[in-house]
Amino acid sequence: MKLSPHLPFGADISGVDLRDLSAQDGKALVDALAEHHVLRVRGQDLTKAQYDRFGRLFGAPIDFFFTKDLDPDYPALITISNSPQHDMGRRDGASFWHTDGSYEYVPASTTMLYAIEAPDEGGETRFTDLTAAYEALPDALRKRVDALDALHMLVGGKRGPDETPIKLDPDATDRDGGVRARKRAAERPRHPLVITHPISGKRSLYAVAGTPYGVEGLEPEEGEALLDALKSHAVSPRFNIAFKAEVGDVLIWDNLATLHRATPIEYSAAEGKRRRLLRISTQGLPPVYGHKPPLFTAPEGHASIKLA
């Protein structure tokens, strides 16, 4: 297995077959993700069963609420595409800076995309390094945010002029999701603005864009101003990198150390323009680190809608 780092962060992985992964190589990939935050594993040829099995090396698959996107045989797999039949309400729906699942009590820790089809041009995902962003904060601001928690909700975060507008009503006619979306939108988790990574031990900003709508203990205007400042700092180009998953690539990122956003894409079925990915997002720690205490927990008595 060969690891080729990128600057300012991220790495390509080659010389490994995810269909026949040794326990040693599996742990090496988990550790590499914690160190580099984004991995692109090149040149794979996976069945859905093999991809599903690989994803579970990083944690337990999440309960995703857009049921029409779930694979009927492998519900941990979520289809992402630029089909022209895709409903208008969710086109480019990930084209804003965010952390997956930060609107939930137990957010996604890892997300991955396996590329079945990729367009000749476009289709990149942008990432920003929240560990580097935290370390670059002025001392006084870093000490301040160390002790603060942000309040999150499904449609809570502000969007910039270059980001997909917020869908205020998750049950609107141009957006699917139904009761599962309503349940997520009703949750108001509180997460620290700064976390210690359970594997690397490094401190990072956490989920400072996408879903936070306030800061506990601060007046709304003050909390909003702080979140705006942290987001502006975190998404600075000096902390950014873009990766594209070509056919056969598995693109994996650490939600505990990054923000990410999709780039707008043309919705087309034409040759050379199609994009089709299988996504897996996981919660909790990788099984190899299952002895460590969880970073996030749900309130006592909280019931989640489980995958079928």
Rounded to 5°, the CA angle 293-298-304 comes to 125
Q: Which helix (H) or strand (E) holds 130?
A: helix 130-135
Q: How far is CA 182 from the centre of its chain?
A: 20
pLDDT tens, residue by residue, 26-47: 999 999 999 999 999 999 999 9
pLDDT tens, residue by residue, 268-285: 899 999 999 999 999 999
pLDDT at 306: 46
**pLDDT greater at residue 71 or residue 263:** 263
Beta-carbon neighbour count of residue 211 at 10 Å? 24
Ordered by start, the domain boundaries in the chain are: 2-289
**pLDDT greater at residue 303 or residue 166:** 166
Q: What number is the average pLDDT over the span 71-85?
A: 87
**pLDDT greater at residue 12 or residue 86:** 12
> Taking a C-beta distance cutoff of 8 angstroms, is the pair 16, 41 a contact?
yes
Q: pLDDT class for 109, splitting at 50, 70, 90?
A: very high
- Domain 2-289, CATH homologous superfamily name and number: Clavaminate synthase-like (3.60.130.10)
Longest dimension (CA), the chain: 53
- C-alpha to C-alpha distance for 260 and 99, rounded to whole angstroms: 7
pLDDT at 63: 72
DSSP 8-state symbol, 89: G
Q: pLDDT class for 188, splitting at 50, 70, 90?
A: confident
pLDDT at 184: 65
DSSP 8-state symbol, 31: H
> Taking a C-beta distance cutoff of 8 angstroms, is the pair 200, 35 a contact?
yes
Q: What number is the average pLDDT over the span 78-104?
A: 85
Per DSSP, the residues of 200-217 read T--EEE---SSSEEEETT
> Taking a C-beta distance cutoff of 8 angstroms, is the pair 261, 26 a contact?
no
**pLDDT greater at residue 187 or residue 265:** 265
- C-alpha to C-alpha distance for 10 and 118, rounded to whole angstroms: 20
